[in-house]
Chains A and B, each alone.
Chain A
Amino acid sequence: MAQNNYAHPEVLVDTKWADQHKEDSSIRIVEVDVDTKAYEDGHIPGAVGWNWQTQLSDNVRRDLVPKTDLEKLLGDSGIDNNTTILLYGDNNNWFAAWAFWQLKIYGHRDVRLIDGGRKKWLAEGRELSIDVTNVPKKTYRASAPDFSIRAYLQDVMKTVGDGKSIALVDVRSVDEYTGKILSPPGLPETCQRGGHVPAAVSVPWGKNVNDDGTFKTVDELKSLYEPLGIKPEKEVVAYCRIGERSSLTWFVFKYLLGYSNVKNYDGSWTEWGNLVNVPISRGERE
């Protein structure tokens, strides 16, 4: 990964490296998919599967997984505080990145993404297992949550009338950004109205990756963001519909480009698009 000049190359491994190290006792591979049944159809041998809907969310509060639940999930997955966690998943690692973001909130030291995710693994014809992975349980102690990498509604609200203090990046498709559609085609609508937060610029998540699902180089990523004024010295907030696509863009800013102050607004358009008496914009940005 060093040839890409990433700021933190240690958080990304390629499929070959993951294949070579999948049986290392210090490593646990975890698959997190948008499609929660994909794991059962075949996964990296030795990988455990996490369900983002039931295991990485608090569906009552609409919040992140609670600390004690995460500790149990990690312990049951054979992970302790010293384990290296390799995350991968479908849709170019959307929810793998979301899991990565939550693990960083709870202070896990060594977590990495498999570059290209499930798509690249399949395309390369690497081995899969359909057996459920049984692992010995371990004890995990999570840190108190670090919410410095999470943006809340009140943070985004600050951009209304002042679009310059925070660089707000809408990573949904252009049609979602303009308000032409309310959700990705074929997926449920989760908002009452279409459009975007007025200060947001549109940079769809897919611009971060190549056709094979791997991340673009630093130079390519810089040329994507810097001409839009999204520079390392700024506070950057990424959002999408429910916070998973924006986790991937958050990862790009934080670990590949090395931005120091970047947050994921997981409330995203599902929150903003349903609020009463807040402004939105429609169409392309003026």
Chain B
Amino acid sequence: MSTLTPQDYRERTESVPPFKIHIVSYRLGEKFYCTVDNVDPGANVSRTEAPTREEAESKAITKAKERLQYSASKIQEI
């Protein structure tokens, strides 16, 4: 069985009004992986892989924004 060690693990939070997103990225072998969750409640919104961290994060954030845009349009007045 071949094993790899995740390296360069990073996480941060950004605002995508009216929501926040939590971005996690790390390298595994030759690829970078990125997942984006919606902070509250913390559900995964997108996941990507790419040769560089910048590319993986950019793709994941773009995909997350598309999905969040729909949710933002459905917010109810309470």
Q: Could you tell me which A residues sit within 8 Å of B by CB distance? A: 34-35, 37-38, 41-42, 45-46, 90-92, 119, 122-123, 125-131, 172-176, 178-187, 189, 194, 204-206, 245, 282-283
Nearest 6 pairs of A and B residues by beta carbon: A186-B67, A186-B45, A173-B41, A185-B71, A184-B43, A185-B38
Chain B residue at minimum C-beta to C-beta distance from A121: B6
B11: chain A residues within 8 A (beta carbon): 123
Q: Are B76 and A179 in contact (CB under 8 A)?
A: yes
For this complex, 27 residue pairs linking A to B, each with C-beta atoms less than 8 Å apart, are A34-B44, A38-B35, A41-B28, A41-B33, A42-B28, A42-B33, A91-B42, A119-B24, A122-B24, A122-B26, A125-B6, A127-B3, A128-B5, A129-B1, A129-B3, A130-B2, A172-B41, A173-B41, A181-B75, A184-B38, A185-B43, A186-B67, A187-B71, A204-B40, A205-B42, A206-B41, A282-B78
Q: Most chain-B Cβ atoms within 10 A of its Cβ — which of A45, A129, A172, A186?
A: A186
Known A122-B26, A127-B3, A176-B41: A185·B49 in contact at CB below 8 Å: no
Q: Among residues 22 to 78 in chain B, which have CB atoms less than 8 Å away from a CB atom of chain A?
A: 24, 26, 28-29, 33, 35, 37-38, 40-47, 49, 64, 67-68, 70-72, 74-76, 78
A73 to B9, CA, bound (A): 33
A34: chain B residues within 8 A (beta carbon): 43-44
Q: Could you tell me which B residues sit within 8 Å of A by CB distance? A: 1-7, 9, 11, 19, 24, 26, 28-29, 33, 35, 37-38, 40-47, 49, 64, 67-68, 70-72, 74-76, 78
Known A123-B9, A129-B3: A204·B41 in contact at CB below 8 Å: yes
Q: Are A180 and B76 in contact (CB under 8 A)?
A: yes
A180 to B64, CA, bound (A): 20
Q: Are B6 and A128 in contact (CB under 8 A)?
A: yes
A282: chain B residues within 8 A (beta carbon): 78
A194 to B76, CA, bound (A): 8
Q: Are B74 and A182 in contact (CB under 8 A)?
A: yes
Q: Are A186 and B9 in contact (CB under 8 A)?
A: no
Identify which of B1, B26, B38 contacts A186 (C-beta below 8 A): B38
Q: Are A128 and B41 in contact (CB under 8 A)?
A: no
Identify which of A119, A184, A194 contacts B41 (C-beta below 8 A): A184
